[in-house]
């Protein structure tokens, strides 16, 4: 064969290989860009997981060991936790989500589908769907009850457990009701009298008339050390689903607990938890009251317990730096 022809043949093959390689490179870059874009969309806009026949909305921020945050309520979306818990995304893969019936997640066709048990089971199915082996679980308020039940039922799924301003049984939740009503009666007697008049007519706390009166009570009365901090909380039209709330706490749950909450009691099981546990409370929390919260030291003696002296029910808003410094220090233990 002619040497020029041979050289041309070789160069043409090399040129083709170069084109193919370049094409694959372009495709790889394109797919990487698309993947990064999809990841970015999921990080900023959130996405949906198919869990137990329903779409659960979730959002991932940051990188590192995974941390999931369970909102309170029952019936709250993740939104009141933002942007405060974004602090954790600096060093961890932070996962927000809206429980079934809340926020951007699907609603039930029948209110009876809402249950505490489903909240616990859905969290485990979400973990599996996201391909996470183990995660740190943070639960605030009612979310802390879900977190306790989850850690007891699925201990191998939990690397660390953080319970913030929460309850260990139905009796403690009833104290929440009793103390809240005491505060309302003394600080807003006019609203209390109207409320009692409605109750004398046979109406319960889930009735629209009673709920409307509750809306007149400033959140600063019960939830904060400094009432002005109530203005810092984010809300939108889907922030709270009262159907979820009253299904799980009972139709008259603001006076006498019922539903699933009345049956819960983790006191005898907390001491058996093997993962590291951190328990956080607020000195001026009129919901998860310190008189009861302090008993966590007895029921979960292996846990680290921290009281925030200038906070109510949301210390992540009122003592933000200290709150996340405590959590981060706990997260770094054992590393």
> Residue 334 — very low, low, confident or very high, per pLDDT cuts 50/70/90?
confident
Distance of CA 26 to the CA centre of its chain: 41
Q: pLDDT tens digit string along 237-292?
A: 678 999 999 999 999 999 999 999 999 999 999 999 999 999 999 999 999 999 99
Q: pLDDT tens digit string along 90-112?
A: 999 999 999 999 999 999 999 99
Distance of CA 173 to the CA centre of its chain: 18
Could you tell me which residue, 124 or 45, shows the higher pLDDT?
124
Q: How many Cβ atoms sit within 10 Å of the Cβ of residue 148? A: 26
Could you tell me which residue, 56 or 43, shows the higher pLDDT?
56
Measured CA to CA, the distance from residue 94 to residue 109 in angstroms comes to: 30
Distance of CA 105 to the CA centre of its chain: 13
| Mean pLDDT for the stretch of residues 173-196 | 97
- Residues with Cβ within 8 Å of residue 35, at least 6 apart in sequence: none
The 3-state DSSP composition of the chain as helix, strand, coil percent (nearest 5) reads: 50, 15, 35
If you classify domain 51-335 with CATH, what class do you get?
alpha beta
In the predicted structure, residue 31 carries a pLDDT above the cut 80: no
Q: 29-54 b/e with 16+ CB inside 10 Å = b?
A: eeeeeeeeeeeeeeeeebbbbebeeb
pTM: 0.87
Measured CA to CA, the distance from residue 318 to residue 223 in angstroms comes to: 10
CA nearest to 243, candidates 79, 100, 53: 100
């Amino acid at each position: 064969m002619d040497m020029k022809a041979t050289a041309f043949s070789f160069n043409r093959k090399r040129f083709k290989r170069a084109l193919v390689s370049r094409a694959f490179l372009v495709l790889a870059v394109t797919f990487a860009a698309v993947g990064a874009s999809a990841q970015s969309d999921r990080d900023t806009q959130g996405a949906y997981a198919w869990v137990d026949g329903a779409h659960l909305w979730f959002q991932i921020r940051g990188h590192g060991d995974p941390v999931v945050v369970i909102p309170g309520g029952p019936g709250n979306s993740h939104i009141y936790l933002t942007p405060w818990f974004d602090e954790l995304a600096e060093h961890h893969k932070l996962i927000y989500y809206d429980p079934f019936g809340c926020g951007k997640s699907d609603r039930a066709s029948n209110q009876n589908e809402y249950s505490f048990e489903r909240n616990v089971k859905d969290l485990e199915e979400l973990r599996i769907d996201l391909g996470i082996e183990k995660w740190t679980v943070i639960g605030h308020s009612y979310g802390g009850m879900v977190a306790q039940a989850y850690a007891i039922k699925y201990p191998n799924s939990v690397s660390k457990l953080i319970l913030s301003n929460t309850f260990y049984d139905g009796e403690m939740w009833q104290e929440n009701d009793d103390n809240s009503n005491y505060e309302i009666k003394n600080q807003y007697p006019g609203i209390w009298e109207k409320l009692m008049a409605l109750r004398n007519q046979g109406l319960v706390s889930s009735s629209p008339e009673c709920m409307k009166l509750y809306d007149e009570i400033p959140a600063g009365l019960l939830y904060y050390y400094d009432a002005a901090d109530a203005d810092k909380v984010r809300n939108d039209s889907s922030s709270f689903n009262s159907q979820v709330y009253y299904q799980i706490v009972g139709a008259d749950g603001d006076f006498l607990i019922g539903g699933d909450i009345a049956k819960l009691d983790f006191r005898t099981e907390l001491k058996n938890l093997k993962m590291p546990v951190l328990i956080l409370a607020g000195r001026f929390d009129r919901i998860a009251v310190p008189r009861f919260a302090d008993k966590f030291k007895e029921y979960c003696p292996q846990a680290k317990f921290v009281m925030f002296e200038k906070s109510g029910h949301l210390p992540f808003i009122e003592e933000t730096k200290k709150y996340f410094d405590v959590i981060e220090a706990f997260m770094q233990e054992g590393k």
